[in-house]
Amino acid sequence: MYYYSVLALNRMAKSKTGRKDSVRRSGRDTADTYGVRGAGAATWQARFGMALNERDLLFAVRREPVAKRTVIDVAHDIFSKGFTVEEVSEKPDPNWSREVSKVLDDLNARACLTRLVLFERLFGWAILALTYVDYGKSAADPVHNPREIRELMPYSSLQCTVQSSDEDKQADSPRFGLPNFYTVRRSEVGAAQTKIHFSRVIHCATRLLDHAWKGLSVLEVMYDDQTVFRNERWALGETLIRHAAGFANITLTGAKRKQIEEFEAEQQLYRLNTRSYFVHDENATVDWVGAAGKALNPEPYVTPTMESLSCGSRIPVSHLRGANAGALAGSETNDREYWGGIAALQSLHEPPVWMLIDRLMETGQIRRVNDYRVVWPAGFELTETAKAAIELQLAQARSLRTAWDTVDEIRADEGKDPLPGGAGNVVLGLRKSEPQVPGQQPEEQPGTSAEADSNRETRFPLHFWRKKKSEDSKSSTS
């Protein structure tokens, strides 16, 4: 009821100014305007090439599908599968990771970090205010002997400002040029302001350019193109409505000018379109005239709109129209590239997570460890066919390595222990039988000489053997 009363008072205040809203609104609807600030009407949005403020950026993310995807969808994709915090040591404790996850879940950290990144991408910087249970007198005092962190609250530059007097002016200070205090408010109008000391805040700004703590909005470099694209879509829509279906060509056979004017004044065909009908006698006819005597092809006008909807909804154009066969490889390539960019953004946004974990260690809500890391699940997952192909290639590579590496060396690369008793200290490729070299006599095996002699005696006649033996003895004596 109070909100309705405020609206009523605002409406009464406007009426006292003497402006005729109904006349102005009617004129705005009938006039053709191509203002780049807002399609179809001149609004407070920035023109092409003008400096931007928070209102311009907020308007873009609310009305532009590309801006919505770039800011909101990407922020949600960064934390869509969550993350885990693992201890880094020789024998990490898996229970510590589960304890950290429980504490972060109790603080709703995932949702708060998502909003923090969303604000940072939209406005260039944002803060995460921490509600401490400590011995400080107020939020403007530094954190003193903290006992617990009870709440996380992200703020954008719409609700958070930094006065010039609250920046560190001491040149020898490690925080020179950075805020000492942040002024926050829960709503934009009529809310009490509160100053928060920097020790109770996690500052997030990943794209610092020409300012010490204010980053660059991801929409600032895209805003002019989005402004052009927005007006192009509006102009194409107006063209489609007015000209794509053609215009009515009404013929009144034998009518005088006065009769035509009277017929037009009656507005009998005011709402005539291609889906309506017109009842007439033989003296009146209606046909439709478009470009080159036919209606324009709406495909060139619909395609930009479909692409814009695809950007805003993150649904491919082929899926909006109906799945097309043969595009699987391209789809996997696009997904892999997109999630690779998300992985890079996840690394940029790890410092706020580290700061939050460190401060939870100070309060004792998380057991202190020497080192830890943030682990992000993979965003892009291979198909079962691709996984099987990779496993086959790895198996073939391991098989080739057996020609020059020992079994234990191959097992070590896979993180496995050596085989017991030195059984793995062998190169399998060297144990394979080598091909026989031409002209080389095989090695004599034990016992083959006696067997050869016995075979020789049985193979030849006895008298031939004795004769050959006596001839050899004579030649030796001579």
The three state secondary structure string of 212-261 is CCCECCCCCCCHHHHHHHHHHHHHHHHHHHHHHCCEEEEEECCCCHHHHH
| Contacts of 36 by beta carbon, 8 Å cutoff, 6+ apart | 47, 48, 227, 228, 231
DSSP state of 207: -
Q: Give the separation between CA 154 and CA 332, rounded to whole angstroms.
A: 35
More confident residue, 16 or 308: 308
More confident residue, 316 or 92: 92
Closest CA to 113 of 140, 153, 147: 153
Q: What is the pLDDT of residue 184?
A: 92
Q: Give the separation between CA 447 and CA 453, rounded to whole angstroms.
A: 11
- pLDDT digit string, tens, across residues 64-114: 888 888 899 999 999 999 999 999 998 889 899 999 999 999 999 999 999
Residue 411 has pLDDT above 60, yes or no: yes
The mean pLDDT value for 131-147 works out to 92
Average pLDDT value for the chain: 75
| Contacts of 295 by beta carbon, 8 Å cutoff, 6+ apart | 244, 245, 246, 288
Q: CB pairs under 8 A, 24+ apart, for 41-49?
A: 45/227, 46/223, 46/227, 47/227, 48/224, 48/227, 48/228, 49/224
Identify the weakest region by mean pLDDT among 178-182, 206-210, 376-380. Answer: 376-380
Count Cα atoms within 13 angstroms, Cβ side, for 170. Answer: 5
Q: Give the separation between CA 251 and CA 311, rounded to whole angstroms.
A: 46
The mean pLDDT value for 443-464 works out to 48
Q: What is the pLDDT of residue 432?
A: 55
Work out the pLDDT band at 233, boundaries 50, 70, 90. Answer: confident
Contact between 193 and 184 under an 8 Å Cβ cutoff? The reply is: yes
Question: The tokens of 215 are what?
Answer: 């980053």
More confident residue, 155 or 478: 155
Closest CA to 286 of 259, 234, 251: 251
Residue 476 has pLDDT above 60, yes or no: no
Work out the pLDDT band at 141, boundaries 50, 70, 90. Answer: very high
The mean pLDDT value for 31-36 works out to 35
Which phi and psi (to 5°) does residue 438 adopt? -60, 135
CB count within 10 Å of CB 104 equals 24
Percentage of the chain beyond pLDDT 90 is 33
Q: What is the pLDDT of residue 384?
A: 75
Question: The tokens of 201 are what?
Answer: 């805040």
**Among positive and negative, which fits the CA dihedral 119, 123, 125, 130?**
negative
Beta partners for residue 148, in sequence order = 133
Work out the pLDDT band at 365, boundaries 50, 70, 90. Answer: very high
pTM of the model: 0.64
Contact between 117 and 215 under an 8 Å Cβ cutoff? The reply is: no
Torsion of CA 168, 173, 177, 183, to 10 degrees: -30
Residue 350 has pLDDT above 80, yes or no: yes
**Among positive and negative, which fits the CA dihedral 235, 237, 238, 243?**
positive
The mean pLDDT value for 348-370 works out to 94
The mean pLDDT value for 305-320 works out to 71
Closest CA to 361 of 109, 120, 96, 169: 96
- pLDDT digit string, tens, across residues 256-312: 888 888 888 887 776 666 556 666 677 777 676 654 445 566 677 778 877 877 777
Question: What stretch of H or E contains 275?
Answer: none
CB count within 10 Å of CB 151 equals 11
Q: Give the separation between CA 268 and CA 254, rounded to whole angstroms.
A: 19
